[in-house]
Amino acid sequence: MIPQPSLAPIVTADVRYAIYLVAPRDSVLWEQACRWLGRDPETAAVSRQPEVPGYAPQRVRQLTRSPRQYGFHATLKAPFRLAHGVDERQLMEEVARLVASLPAFSMPALKVGRLTGFVALRAAGSAQEPMALARLCVTGLDALRAPFEAAERARRRAAGLTPHQQDLLEQWGYPFVLDEYRFHMTLTQRLEDAEAAVLMPWLQNWLAPALGDDSGEADLAVFGQPRAGDDFVLRRRFPLQR
C-alpha cells in the first residue's frame, strides 16, 4: 500500500487533526455525500446542494452546516491537538504504521437513520468492523495527542456526560469511544422529530445509488483544521483495501 503524499504541513499554532473513515475518492457515496453537504473536503470544491421538495435552499444549507464543516466521514479518533514535540510528518508515519498492521476491512452496508437527533448514515447490520477499527485508532494513536485544555473539559462536562463517559473523556480525550462508540456518518444538524421524519425517506431515496454500492471499500484519512472555526480538510488517505 502506497498512500498519497500529504499536503504542505499546517503550521498554525492551534491546528487540530482527526482520524476518519471515508468512502473512496471515486465512489458514488463520496460524490453524492459531498454534494449533499455542499463541499468536498479533499478538493475544496463547493457544490450546489440538491433541491429537496418543500425546502428552501437556505434551509438545506443551514441544516447541513456542521457536517459540512467537518467533511463527510465516520469518526475513528475525534479531533485532537498534537502532543508537544510531535509534528504532522510523525502523525502520518504513525498512521501509516497502524494501517499496515490492520486486518482486512470492509465498510458495512449503510442506511439512513438517526443518532441523538442527527440524521446520519448508519450500519444496516453489524458495525463490529468499524467499532474495532475505531478502538485501534483511539488507543494506538493516543500517544500523539496533547492533553485537552481546561475549557474543552468544561465544555464536554457541561453536555451532561455519564460518569463512565467522563472517565473516557479523561483517559482518551473524548467521551464517545470504546464501548460508547456508535458508528455513523453525519448528514445533518440535530433536527426535530417531525422534520427528520420528512427528510429521512427523501435522503434514503436520493442516496440509494450510493447505498446500493456493495463494494465495501473504504479509506482511513487524516483530516486537519488549521484554526478554530475553519473547515476540516482531508490531508491524506490511507486505503484499507488489501
Which pLDDT value is given to residue 154? 80
Percent of all residues in the chain with a pLDDT value above 70, rounded to a whole number: 95
- Amino acid occupying residue 12: T
Which pLDDT value is given to residue 1? 45
Return the C-alpha cell found at 42: 479533499
Which pLDDT value is given to residue 214? 63
Q: What angle do CA 14, 15, 18 make, to 5 degrees?
A: 135
CATH T-level assignment (fold) for domain 19-149+182-223: Cyclic Phosphodiesterase; Chain: A, (3.90.1140)
Q: What angle do CA 176, 113, 76 make, to 5 degrees?
A: 30
Q: What residues contact residue 54 under an 8 Å CB cut-off, 6+ apart?
A: 198
Residues 155-174 pLDDT 10s: 877 778 999 999 999 999 99
**Helix (H) / strand (E) containing 186:** strand 185-190
3-state helix, strand, coil in the chain (%, to 5): 40, 20, 40
User: By three-state DSSP, how is residue 102 classified?
Assistant: coil
